[in-house]
Amino acid sequence: MAKVINHRGIRIITLEADERVADHCEEGDIVLVEEADGWWTHFVGRDGETDSYDAAFESYNKALWTAKAAAEFAAE
């Protein structure tokens, strides 16, 4: 089940392997997804498209702290 954290008014959502962005996320959300090469941080835009950093993070905590920093920047 997707886990949602609200940070500075921005939803940071961690998805399980079988969950899809389209089913749980909306514009402005930040999504954390674990893949074979690490934890990816995705930013959800209009119409559900996503943009990501160019590399995965080695741990969930690093991806989460990066998402929180991005949320703080977006909230300003």
Record the pTM: 0.91
Query: pLDDT digit string (tens) for 3-62?
Result: 999 999 999 999 998 998 888 999 999 999 999 999 999 999 998 899 999 999 999 999
Position 74 scores a pLDDT of: 81
Higher pLDDT, 76 or 67: 67
Position 48 scores a pLDDT of: 86
Q: How would DSSP label each residue in 27-59?
A: TT-EEEEEETTEEEEEEE-GGG-EEE-SS-BSS
